[in-house]
Amino acid sequence: MSKIYGLTGGIASGKSTVLDLFRQNGCVVYDADKVARDIVKPGTDGLSQVIQTFGSEILFSDGSLNRKKLGSIVFNDKSQLKRLTDITGPLIRKQILHIIKQVSESSDKKIVIFEIQLLFESNYQDYFDGIISIYVPEEIQLDRLMERDRISKEDALNKINSQMSMEEKKSRADLVIDNSGNLNILKTEIYNLIKKL
C-alpha cells in the first residue's frame, strides 16, 4: 500500500522546488494548485458555475478561463472572493479527497506527496499518513518573495501576514524540511527524509 504525505509551507518557501526534488527521487507527487486549475477547465461543472456567477467576460475567446481577469475582480473585493471560493472550494476538496482515496486503496508501494498550501487552514491533516512542512525564517521568506514577485517590503509582508505563520506550520507538522540553505543542502535533506518515510 502507498503511503501518502501532505506537504505544506508558506508563500515563497520553495514548495515547487521541493515537490520537484521529491519527484526526481521517485515519489509520486500531486499539487492542489493543479487540481484548482483542473476543476475550471472548459467543459467542467466548475467553469460553468464560475461563468454563471461572474459572466462570460472572464473567458478567453477559446472558452478557457482568463485567470488574470477573474483575479482582478476577486482580489480587490472580499465578497467576490467569497463567491468564488464558495464555488471552487467544495469542488477542489472533493477532487483532493478522491485522489487521496484512490492512492490509499492502491496496491502500489509508493511514497506519494500531495502539496497543499492551505493544508492546515482547510483541515486536510487527518487524511494523510503524515504532514511535512517546509520552513524558512521570515527574513529569508521576505527577501525571496520581494525578489520573486518584484514587490515592495510592505506588499510582501501583507502577503506573508495573510497566511498561517511558518512557525505555526512547523510546530503542527510531523516532519520539517529546512529550506533556508542552498539547493545542494536541500537535495541532501530531501534524500535523507525520503529514507525515513
Report domain 1-27+119-197's class: alpha beta
Write out the residue limits of the CATH 3.40.50.300 domain(s) in the chain: 1-27+119-197, 29-109
Report field, pTM of the whole predicted structure over 0.75: yes
Pick the CATH number of 29-109 from 1.20.58.110, 3.20.20.120, 3.40.50.300, 3.30.420.10: 3.40.50.300
131-146 mean pLDDT: 94
Q: Is the pLDDT of residue 5 over 80?
A: yes
Q: Is the pLDDT of residue 42 over 90?
A: yes
Cell (9 digits) for 63 = 472558452
Q: Is the pLDDT of residue 60 over 90?
A: yes
Q: Quote the CA–CA distance of 46 and 36 in Å, as a whole number.
A: 10
pLDDT band with cut points at 50, 70 and 90 for residue 132: very high
The closest of 175, 178, 147, 141 to 161, measured between CA atoms, is: 141
pLDDT at res. 66: 95
pLDDT in tens, 70-111: 988 887 788 998 999 999 999 999 999 999 999 988 888 899
Whether the CB-CB separation of 145 and 12 falls below 8 Å is answered with yes
